[in-house]
Amino acid sequence: MEDQANQQRMESIVSLCKRRGFIFPSSEIYGGTGSVWDYGPLGVLLKNNVKAAWQHTNLQLRDDMVGMDAAILMHPRVWEASGHLEVFADPLVDCKQCRQRFRADALAEGRCPECGGEVTEARSFNLMFKTFMGPVEDTASIVYLRPETAQGMFVNFKNVLQSSRKQPPFGIAQVGKAFRNEITPGNFTFRTREFEQFEIEYFVPPDQGEQWFDYWVDQRLQWYYDLGLQREHLRLRAHEQLELAHYSQATTDIEYQFPFGWSELEGIAHRGDWDLRRHQEYSGRDLTYFDEQTRQRYLPHVIEPSGGVDRATLAFLVDAYQEVAGGRGAAGAEKEVVLRLHPRLAPIKAAVLPLVRKDGMPARGEAICQRLRQSWMVDYDEGGSIGRRYRRQDEAGTPFCITIDSQTLQDDTVTVRDRDTMQQERVPQAELEVYLAEKIGPCR
């Protein structure tokens, strides 16, 4: 029963995302493209707010962090040095009966999960998308769509070090697209072939690696708490020795309890000096750092908090989604959906709603709306009853509704309704910016 309820909950969230313009299947009019998704009008605002909140915390508020935006296409030798050409692969099997393909490590009892048929022996399948640069398609022109953003920061370590005048410990933060030809993608936007990452490569003296690893595990977990994810839906899981990646000395995952089970939201890895050492070896360039105070030269160790923007966005949607049977208003009303997103993440921060379409209320509302749009994304809605408009904004995650009524015309105050409590208070319209700024916080 619990599995069925979780499945229904996930289906309801997917339905809401399409109906309200958060997320659409890509190329849907042509039947869709497997596990590729488009972010609609509300979805792109939500996703941008997730990225902005990450950059605000990890870049804007820190003296020890700089940003960059590396290219998606990189020299093929990068992927030799990183190990991706050699080890970035999944074990692949084919079902002899229905011909579908699956990851071998995801099968129960070695049988096909669709038809129960016998499967082939596992073979290695590289997850990188291959393409060609230039007009000739030969081995000399092969390039790859990057499977992660990390390598762009490693190969630019010396450029950033010299141009920013930073010294370890310091970090490079980046948000960008990555591509993986997943064998079995799924669970909506959780595992896709085109996705966005937010990653930090934090360079530290070798003897400080463990303390900075522990620091970043705590920092990243707190970020999710601060943006409203429920504590009981988050946990830390340290990797066992046998499951560590080839570059990792230690890894801890932040996992979230999705309707489909506990799954990785973000991983924090202690990569040692593996990446810089490999790129130094393959490029022939000196990537060491000379410490003027200690007079020592060393390859910095790296702590990497690596998260998925799409996974984080999905987690915030799932955590915020609430169905209220019978509604929150009059008894016997239809079921209502409330999206209790943190105000910093909400796509629309406020909606301006004239009570009626007369007596100058629409003109007053439009003027307030244009004023507030200088600072936030604000919606204007004058269609339908006020109750129905409240419900539309509730399921879009809008934290505040501003109503223009007859009293507004008398004393220039408006009613501000809180999405979560439904409480209303009168606020002078001249003070709306200050009021909303205190409620919403630093991100737009």
User: Per residue in 96-125, pLDDT tens?
Assistant: 788 777 777 667 677 787 787 888 877 766
- Whether residue 210 is found in the same domain as residue 61: yes
In percent, how much of the chain has pLDDT > 70? 96
pLDDT at residue number 253: 97
Q: Contact 418/401 with Cβ under 8 angstroms?
A: no
pLDDT at residue number 310: 97
Assess if residue 100 is contained within a domain: no
Please state, in angstroms and rounded to a whole number, the distance separating the CA atoms of residues 259 and 296.
51
Assess if residue 403 is contained within a domain: yes
- Whether residue 364 is found in the same domain as residue 302: no
- Whether residue 271 is found in the same domain as residue 379: no
What's the structural domain count of the chain? 2
Q: What is the domain extent for residue 368?
A: 341-440
Assess if residue 99 is contained within a domain: no
**From 128-132, 144-148, 151-155, the region with the lowest mean pLDDT:** 128-132
Assess if residue 87 is contained within a domain: no
| CA distances (Å), origin 210, targets 99, 157, 250, 371 | 47, 21, 9, 50
- Give the residue carrying structure tokens 């130094």: 280
pLDDT in tens, 20-64: 999 999 999 999 887 899 999 999 999 999 999 999 999 999 999
- Whether residue 420 is found in the same domain as residue 356: yes
How many other C-beta atoms lie within 10 A of the C-beta of residue 433? 14
| CA distances (Å), origin 125, targets 97, 102, 149 | 21, 11, 21
Q: Residue type for 45, please? A: L
| Pairing relationship of beta strands 89-94 and 37-39 according to DSSP bridges | unpaired
Straight-line distance from the first to the last Cα atom of the chain, in angstroms, rounded to the nearest whole number: 40
Q: What average pLDDT score do residues 179-204 get?
A: 90
Q: What average pLDDT score do residues 76-95 get?
A: 81
DSSP H or E run through 352: strand 350-354
pLDDT at residue number 86: 76
Please report, for the domain that includes residue 205, its CATH number. 3.30.930.10
Whether the pLDDT of residue 332 is over 70: the answer is no
Q: Contact 392/381 with Cβ under 8 angstroms?
A: yes
- Whether residue 369 is found in the same domain as residue 414: yes
pLDDT at residue number 89: 61
Q: How confident is the model at residue 429 (pLDDT cuts 50, 70, 90)?
A: very high
Backbone angles phi, psi at 305, to 5 degrees: -85, 115
In percent, how much of the chain has pLDDT > 90? 76
pLDDT at residue number 380: 96
Closest to 36 measured CA to CA, from 113, 115, 129, 150: 129
SS3 at position 436: helix
Q: How confident is the model at residue 141 (pLDDT cuts 50, 70, 90)?
A: confident
Instruction: Give long-range contacts, CB 8 A cutoff, 24+ apart: 262-266.
Output: 262/235, 263/187, 263/190, 263/311, 264/311, 265/224, 265/234, 265/307, 265/308, 265/311, 265/312, 265/315, 266/220, 266/305, 266/306, 266/307, 266/308, 266/311, 266/312
Closest to 78 measured CA to CA, from 278, 269, 255: 278
- Average pLDDT of the chain is 91
pLDDT at residue number 333: 65
Whether the pLDDT of residue 444 is over 70: the answer is no
Q: How confident is the model at residue 399 (pLDDT cuts 50, 70, 90)?
A: very high
Q: What average pLDDT score do residues 197-210 get?
A: 97
pLDDT in tens, 219-266: 999 999 999 999 999 999 999 988 888 888 899 999 999 999 999 999
- Whether residue 233 is found in the same domain as residue 355: no
SS3 at position 301: strand
Assess if residue 108 is contained within a domain: no
Cβ neighbors of 237 (< 8 A, separation 6 or more) are 252, 253, 255
pLDDT at residue number 48: 97
Please report, for the domain that includes residue 424, its CATH number. 3.40.50.800
Q: What is residue 71's DSSP assignment?
A: -
- Whether residue 400 is found in the same domain as residue 285: no
Assess if residue 123 is contained within a domain: no
Please state, in angstroms and rounded to a whole number, the distance separating the CA atoms of residues 354 and 356.
6
- Whether residue 185 is found in the same domain as residue 295: yes
Peptide bond into 169 cis (omega under 30): yes
pLDDT at residue number 99: 75
- Whether residue 300 is found in the same domain as residue 364: no
Render the burial of 357-375: b for 16+ CB within 10 Å, e for the rest.
eeeebbebbeebbeebeee
pLDDT at residue number 331: 55
Backbone angles phi, psi at 391, to 5 degrees: -65, -35
- Whether residue 401 is found in the same domain as residue 356: yes
Assess if residue 302 is contained within a domain: yes
Whether the pLDDT of residue 439 is over 90: the answer is yes
pLDDT at residue number 120: 81
Q: What average pLDDT score do residues 303-327 get?
A: 94
- Whether residue 313 is found in the same domain as residue 176: yes
pLDDT at residue number 94: 78
Assess if residue 326 is contained within a domain: no
Q: Contact 221/253 with Cβ under 8 angstroms?
A: no
- Whether residue 296 is found in the same domain as residue 196: yes
Closest to 9 measured CA to CA, from 342, 234, 314: 314
